[in-house]
Chains A and B, each alone.
Chain A
Amino acid sequence: EPEVTQTPSHQVTQMGQEVILRCVPISNHLYFYWYRQILGQKVEFLVSFYNNEISEKSEIFDDQFSVERPDGSNFTLKIRSTKLEDSAMYFCARGGGSGLGTQYFGPGTRLLVL
């Protein structure tokens, strides 16, 4: 049983289009993270979200990216105008109650930008 679920599992989009990736936690948590993994490579931190606010973002997380929790449960990552180099696996993770607990990852969304 995954700690979080992610939708869609796969998405193909054209360059310049907007995509929204969704993360749904199984239970209420305060800490959420988005990470990205370009095919077969290192897992990179994108952004963290604590108590419905961005708490930290990486250099990758530029103005094309945004994150929100619109309805208090679903947690979304939006890419406004996709680029070829955005093709990657995107993982959502939920953190432990104190922030120092283990992070559990969702199954990921594979994004392909053509």
Chain B
Amino acid sequence: AQSVAQPEDQVNVAEGNPLTVKCTYSVSGNPYLFWYVQYPNRGLQFLLKYITGDNLVKGSYGFEAEFNKSQTSFHLKKPSALVSDSALYFCAVRDIRADSSYKLIFGSGTRLLVRP
């Protein structure tokens, strides 16, 4: 079965410090991985994706993610956190089985809290 895991319910970081939100995946075949962010009472906003190519993917709002095949991880990172980055972050993998509709399978989410 295809799945992603986000081992941390919450990550706390001080503004200006680097942040990492962890995600590991389990898929058969090559993974299609995504990060989405959800601000309070809002929809899901696409941040970035990994399909193939460079292991370091750059996305919106200064975020980047590193794909690590040997560790089956796709951690989200940002060099310097902002208070406005405080939100709920979801890692997702695309279901690419032959009989699937390419739906997304989401992790449980990680709440990022950036304190001033």
Chain A interface residues (CB < 8 Å from chain B): 2, 31, 33, 35, 40-45, 48, 50, 55-56, 91, 93, 95, 99-100, 102-108, 110
Contacts and interface: CB of A to CB of B under 8 A. Distances in A.
A43 B106 contact: yes
B43 A33 contact: no
Interface in B29-58: 32, 34, 36, 41-46, 49, 51
B101 interface: yes
B103 A45 contact: yes
Interface of B: 32, 34, 36, 41-46, 49, 51, 88, 90, 92, 94, 96, 99-109
Contacts of B94: 100
B43 A106 contact: yes
Contacts, number: 64
Nearest to B42: A107
B108 A45 contact: no
Nearest to B105: A45
Given A42-B109, A43-B90, A103 B42 contact: no
